[in-house]
Amino acid sequence: MRYNFSSTFLKIIPPDSNFGEAWESLCYLLLCQEHGHNGFIRLNPPDRGIDIFHQPEKRAYQCKSHENGAAGTLDATGSLKSLKTAINHRNSFEWHSYCFATNANFSGTSFERILSCADGLKIAKSQIEHLGPERSEEHTSELQSHSFTSYA
């Protein structure tokens, strides 16, 4: 089963106040469900280019979303800004891999632009990852019922 992680179906549950925050919360829940809760830290503002940090694996996650979910596309601009910010804060969070967790695919050559920028910033392309819509079908119905409006 595939889920549409869009603003049409994603519930915004306090303390989240907008779609982006709700997407970050869902990413945190899905990561904890898949890997267990140990070592996941959800970071609060100020922005450090990292939304979720997995301490044991030294993996930084940046959650990016489009309100149309998998029907939408993301461009590289916001993701590049986040990556550069994460690099500037690498002394605080020593990450070995940086993962974009998205509900939509990147548009055109956007991910290639991200990889090229990373290379220019002395970050190996192998350290940049993307978890996108194709992974959504793996999640449990419990998470779906918590985070999505039923339309049955």
Q: Please write the tens of the pLDDT for every residue from 40-90.
A: 999 988 889 999 999 999 999 999 999 888 888 999 999 999 999 999 999
Measured CA to CA, the distance from residue 52 to residue 24 in angstroms comes to: 8
- For the cut 50, the answer to whether the pLDDT of residue 140 exceeds it is no
Q: Please write the tens of the pLDDT for every residue from 9-18.
A: 778 888 888 8
First to last CA, the chain: 14
pTM beyond 0.75: the answer is yes
- For the cut 70, the answer to whether the pLDDT of residue 151 exceeds it is no
Strand intervals (E) in the chain: 40-42, 52-54, 59-64, 73-74, 97-102, 105-106, 128-131
